[in-house]
Chain A
Amino acid sequence: MREVIWLYLRRDRVSLLVWIVLSALLPVGVAAGSAGAYPDQATRDAFAAGVASNPAELATRGPVFAATVGGLTAWTVAASGAVIVGGLVSVLFIVRWTRSEEQAGRRELLGSTMLGRQVPLASALVVAVGANLAIGVLVAVLLIAYGLPVVGSVALGLVYVVAGVLFATVGAVAAQVVESAGGARAIALVVLGAAFAVSAVGEVGRTWLVWATPFGWARRVQAFAGERWWVLLLFVVPAAVLAVGAFALSARRDVGAGLVPARSGPAVAGPRLRSPLALAWRLHHGALWGWAAGLTALGLLLGSAMRSLGTQLDTPAFRALGAALGGGDPAEVFFRFVLYVLAQVVAAAAIAAVLRMRQQETAGLADVVLAGPVARVRWALGHLAVTAAGVVLAVAGLGLGAGVAYGTPLSVVGSTLAYLPACLLFAAVAVALYGWAPRLAAPVAWTLLGAALVLDLLGEFRVVGRAVLALSPFVRTLTPLTAGSGLTVALVGMAAVAAALAAVGLTGLRRRDMA
């Protein structure tokens, strides 16, 4: 088992280290930002009151439990840092070490040696738990070193540990259920997304649903606000159950097989499967409909939550907040903010879709098509057309769901679609990189999206000015959207840059060697 643990650590030492260090730095960075932006109790109280009256903030981050530097830090990172980032990365690593290895046939090589059949899964969980522990310890140590209360720092560190471990076990079970790594990741992502949606509805409506998901638990450990240690058990119990379940499933099934057996498929291809575009559609339409359906459901949930809240929202406090943000119907202000956050999720999906081209290339699947009378640009355009269609469907579904449930479909769909150019811009950056520097495409594209998100956070704590903030395509969409003018110019500009970047990328693709 030691050897297998060593193997995982050796393979992913760089990415593990980056994850641990960045995760550990985020809370202390937020603490420093909060202290800088809200130096005295009066400003912090005002901020907390603003949050309490803003359903968008409630939906994405929950209530502020204590208007202190520690309290604001926990409010910012408990759910988004520990559950979303920690959970997501834990899932990706677990699936990579278990199901991906099995799918690639490397698990068999290990299995033929004197290894017990549970060793690969157990080793993966050991490394994931270890990495999350390291993050938790570093988070606590750095916060204590920064000068925050010891008890709260430890509580927040523990939230990081248990949230990461819980989703590691979700990933472990998903990896047993289906035969493909992509399917396992999709299952875990759906669990994460559904938990987020349910918690958002719970927080906005202040119902029992806040106790139904890890997002609500992470907030209600109440680090720096009268810690409630027993809430940590809410993570530990399902994690233990899921881990036992994963081992039980893994003990029962054949190596390489899932619980859901692969069925036979058609012996001949359908009449439409005759072009690179049709192939890309055939390969990715499942994921595409999944995203669209998930975001539509999320839109419906948020829209109906807003509808039931409509009258409660019409308070002087919220109207003042709305006026400061460009005014309009309270619901419109709310949607503007929620969509702003969700557009970043769609941008991530768009980058992932573009990078599938690179995966096809390195797997040798591009060769098979390009050895036929298919130009490289035509092959790439097939992928990109499906990517663009997916982004449009996801964004439109989100807006339509929210708008229909709330009762004003047109205006909500309109302000949702405004984020299309920003999402496509990130996809286009990935295309440009793919054409000229394919190995850098994934790390640089993800880093740029990460930078946009960090910029957002820094802007919120007023660490950076408006001029820097305007570098983010999302801010460039939101600002004219709230101001009510200059939107067309901003969107056309971004769309033009996106088109130019995509064209540059395709030119590079024509000139370089295929991997």
Chain B
Amino acid sequence: MTAPVVARGLVKTFGHVRALDGLDLEVHAGEVHGFLGPNGAGKTTAIRILLGLLRATSGRIELFGGDPWADATALHRRLAYVPGDVTLWPSLTGGEVIDLLGRLRGGADPARRAELLERFELDPRKRCRTYSKGNRQKVALVAALASDADLLVLDEPTSGLDPLMEAEFGRAVAQERDRGRTVLLSSHILSEVETLCDRVSIIRAGRTVESATLPELRRSRRTVVTAELASPPLGLERLDGVHDLEVHGTTVTCRVDPGGLDAVLHALTASGVRSLTSRPPSLEELFLAHYREEVTV
């Protein structure tokens, strides 16, 4: 089975601005793929190329094995999209928009629509001009989730939702994955990606800097080690792969490269370990680490 989304060396320029600068992205069938990056990194540009709304300047992009620019109409039968900044027709009601979008995609399940309206506490009789940002987002989400599309493309879908609705959204996405659908979720909310996504791609300035599963990402990164010792540690600062070392009397905190863990543990036990915690880096730390690297380059 081919991957629903494959991009290789994708470049998009607007005049002199290089919005995408060799982006790579691969979304596997049946996974929830986190698409991470700060504001202006090129997430929305990449998604709009994927939707055939923009034409890539160079590079290769495939949607379900087809060309999203040339075969947009046929390919769009298999996807549903929630834009980052949802605008809706001010004179239509939310219910009308949901039905219209569903029918354009070839029909949606009315029972599922009713269930989603209930779950997201959305009043479908209101005109779209009276909806808040969060409610407009819910309209687009209900329309996308009620469809039977294979791929859901969600561009920062929770930026206007309250925490309760955000949790509801998380449950809905998990259900969709269990039903075998693929989700591409762009976000800069790391906790959301951490709980929902199987794999993540981190992009910066239009280029992919990392693409892996969360465990893989963590394995390749430094572990945070905190230890309470019997006596002040000796020689830790001389070991390879030890970073951000802080020693307060007998308390030690440091970050350790995967290859240096063994040596660090030996050094610590030499001073007598009273308590020891080690935890994998959080996504936030991974994310920040990437940006710190880019800045220092």
With A264-B125, A274-B100, A274-B104 as contacts: A368 and B83 at CB distance below 8 Å: yes
Determine whether the beta carbon of A273 is less than 8 Å from that of B129: no
B residues less than 8 Å from A317 (CB atoms): none
Query: Of A180, A364, A514, which contacts B129 at CB under 8 A?
Result: A180
Which residues B39-91 have CB closer than 8 A to chain A?
48, 51-55, 72-77, 79-81, 83, 85-91
- Closest Cβ neighbor of A376 among chain B residues: B72
Chain A neighbourhood of B105, CB < 8 A: 372-373
A374 in contact with B76 (CB, 8 Å) = yes
Tell me the A363-394 residues at the B interface (CB within 8 Å): 363-365, 367-376
Quick one: CB contact mask for B90-106 with A, threshold 8 Å, 1 for yes?
11110111111101111
Size of A's binding interface in residues, CB under 8 A: 35
Alpha-carbon distance between A71 and B293 when the two chains are bound, in angstroms: 78
Please tell me if the beta carbons of B76 and A371 are within 8 angstroms of each other in the complex: yes
Pairwise interchain contact A265-B125, C-beta atoms closer than 8 A: yes
Q: Which residues of B contact A368 (CB under 8 A)?
A: 81, 83, 86-88, 101, 140
CB closest chain-B residue, reference A274: B103
Asked whether B221 is an interface residue with its Cβ less than 8 Å from the other chain, the reply is no
Q: How far is the CA of A310 from the CA of B22 in the complex (A)?
A: 77
Q: Which of A269, A270, A276, A283 contacts B91 (CB 8 A)?
A: A283
Smallest Cβ-Cβ distance to B126: which chain A residue: A264
Bound CA span A278–B51, Å: 23
Collect the chain A residues with CB atoms within 8 Å of residue B127's CB. 262, 264-265
Given the contacts A179-B129, A374-B76, A265 and B100 also touching, CB distance less than 8 Å: no
A468 in contact (CB, < 8 A): no
For residue A268, CB closer than 8 A to chain B, the reply is yes
How far apart are A269's CB and chain B's nearest CB, in angstroms? 4
Asked if A443 is an interface residue, CB under 8 A from chain B, the answer is: no
In the complex the two chains form, what is the Cα distance from A278 to B100 in whole Å? 9
Given A371-B79, A513-B55: A267 touches B125 (CB 8 Å cut-off): yes
Contact between B125 and A266, CB atoms less than 8 A apart:
yes
Q: Is the CB of B73 within 8 A of A375?
A: yes
Q: Is residue B269 contacting chain A, with contact meaning CB distance below 8 A?
A: no
A282 CB–B CB distance under 8 Å: yes
How many residue pairs link A and B with beta carbons under 8 A? The number is 119
Q: Which residues of A contact B52 (CB under 8 A)?
A: 370
Answer yes or no: B260 CB below 8 A from chain A CBs: no
Q: Which single residue of chain A is at the shortest CB-CB distance from B77? A: A373
A488 at the interface (CB under 8 A from B): no
A275 at the interface (CB under 8 A from B): yes
Determine whether A304 belongs to the interface, using a CB cutoff of 8 Å to chain B.
no
Query: What is the minimal beta-carbon distance from A78 to any residue of chain B, in angstroms?
Result: 38
Smallest CB separation, A267 vs chain B (Å)? 4
Find chain A residues with CB under 8 A from B81 CB: 367-368, 371
- Rounded to whole Å, the gap between the CB of B30 and the closest CB of chain A is 21
Q: Is the Cβ of A369 less than 8 Å from the Cβ of B129? A: no
A145 CB → nearest B CB, Å: 45
Contacts of B96 in A (CB 8 A): 265-266, 268-270, 273, 282
Answer whether residue B130 sits at the interface, using C-beta atoms and an 8 A cutoff.
yes
Query: Does A103 belong to the interface (CB within 8 Å)?
Result: yes
Chain A residues closer than 8 Å to B9, beta-carbon distance: none
Of A265, A273, A283, A364, the residue contacting B99 (CB under 8 A) is A273
Tell me how far the C-beta of A295 lies from the nearest C-beta in chain B, rounded to whole angstroms: 23
Q: Nearest Cβ in chain A — how far from B124, in angstroms?
A: 4
* Alpha-carbon distance between A374 and B101 when the two chains are bound, in angstroms: 10
Complex Cα spacing A368 to B130, Å: 19
Q: Which of B89, B99, B103, B153 contacts A365 (CB 8 A)?
A: B89
Contacts of A365 in B (CB 8 A): 87-89
In the complex, how many angstroms separate the beta carbon of A489 from the nearest chain B beta carbon? 39
A385 nearest CB across to chain B (Å): 17
CB atoms of A369 and B87 under 8 A apart: no
Q: How distant is the Cα of A78 from the Cα of B237 in the complex, in angstroms? A: 89
Instruction: Let me know if A279 is at the binding interface, CB within 8 A.
Output: yes
Chain B residues whose CB sits within 8 angstroms of the CB of A270 once the complex forms: 96
Query: In the assembly, what is the distance between CA of A39 and CA of B271, in Å?
Result: 113
Q: Kindly list chain B residues whose C-beta atoms are within 8 Å of the C-beta of A180.
A: 90-91, 129
Q: Which residue of B lies closest to A268 (CB)?
A: B95
Q: Mark A338-377, 1 if CB is under 8 A from B, else 0.
A: 0000000000000000000000000111011111111110
Instruction: Note all chain B residues with C-beta closer than 8 A to A179.
Output: 129
Known: A372-B101, A373-B106, A513-B54. A265 touches B73 (CB 8 A): no
Kindly list chain A residues whose C-beta atoms are within 8 Å of the C-beta of B100. Answer: 269, 273-274, 278-279
> Separation in Å of the A353 CB from the closest CB of chain B?
16
Chain A's nearest CB lies how many Å from the CB of B121?
A: 14
CB pair A367 B53 closer than 8 Å: yes
A282 contact set on B, CB distance < 8 A: 91-92, 96
Q: In whole angstroms, how far apart are the Cα atoms of A283 and B96 in the complex?
A: 12
CA distance A180 to B100 in the complex (A): 22
Contact A265 B126 (CB under 8 A): yes
Partner of B53, one of A266, A279, A370, A373: A370
Once the chains bind, are B124 and A268 in contact (CB under 8 Å)?
A: yes
Q: In the bound complex, do residue A370 and residue B72 qualify as a contact, i.e. CB atoms below 8 Å apart? A: yes
User: Which single residue of chain A is at the shortest CB-CB distance from B81?
Assistant: A371
Chain A neighbourhood of B51, CB < 8 A: 367, 370-371
Identify which of residues 201-230 in chain A touch chain B, using a CB-to-CB cut-off of 8 Å: none
Closest chain B CB from A205 CB (angstroms): 40
What 1/0 flags go to B116-140 for Cβ under 8 Å of A? 0000000011110110000000001
A to B CB contacts below 8 Å, 19 in the list: A180-B90, A180-B129, A265-B93, A265-B125, A268-B95, A273-B96, A279-B100, A283-B91, A363-B87, A364-B86, A368-B87, A368-B101, A369-B101, A370-B72, A371-B76, A372-B101, A372-B105, A373-B105, A374-B76
Q: A103-B90, A364-B86, A368-B86 are in contact. List 11 more A-B contacts (CB 8 A).
A: A264-B125, A265-B92, A265-B93, A266-B93, A283-B91, A364-B85, A365-B87, A368-B88, A370-B53, A371-B80, A373-B77
In the complex, the 7 A-B pairs of residues with the closest C-beta atoms, listed nearest first? A269-B99, A265-B93, A371-B81, A274-B103, A372-B104, A269-B96, A264-B125
